[in-house]
Structure 1
Amino acid sequence: MAERFNFHVNSRDGMARQGVISTPRGDIRTPAFMPVGTAATVKAMMPESVAATGADILLGNTYHLMLRPTAERIDRLGGLHRFMNWQKPILTDSGGFQVMSLTGLRKLTEQGVKFKSHIDGSEHMLTPERSMEIQRLLGSDIVMCFDECPALPAPEERVAESMRMSMRWAARSRDAFGDRPGHALFGIQQGGVTRDLRAESAEKLRAIGFDGYAVGGLAVGEGQEAMFGVLDYATDMLPEDKPRYLMGVGKPDDIVGAVARGIDMMDCVLPSRSGRTGQVFTRRGVVNIKNARHQDDPRPLDETCACPACRGYSRAYLHHVFRAQEIISSMLLTWHNLHYYQELMQGIREAIAAGRFEAFQADFHAQRAEGDIAPL
Structure 2
Amino acid sequence: MRMNEPENPIGSGVELDLVPVACAMCGGSETKPRPVFEGYDYEYRTCDNRFRFVACSDCGHVYLSPRVRMEDIDRIYPRDYVVRVTEIEYPAFAPFRWLKLNVLDRGWNKKVIANLRPESRVLDIGAGFGGNLTYLAGLAPFPLQLSANDLKFEPEARSFLVDRGVTLIEGPVEEVQCEERFDAIICQQVIEHVVDPRRLVRWISDHLAPGGVVYLETPDLHGLSRYIFKNHWLALHTPRHFHLFSRKALTACVRGCDLEIAFHGAIVEASHWPGSLRIKLGMEPHAPRSTGWLYSLLSYDNFFTKCVSCMIDLSAIMLGLSTVSQALIARKPATAA
Q: Same fold (TM over 0.5)?
A: no
Larger Rg: 1
Give the TM-score normalised by the residue count of structure 1: 0.28
TM-score (norm 2): 0.31
Give the structure with the higher percent helix: 1
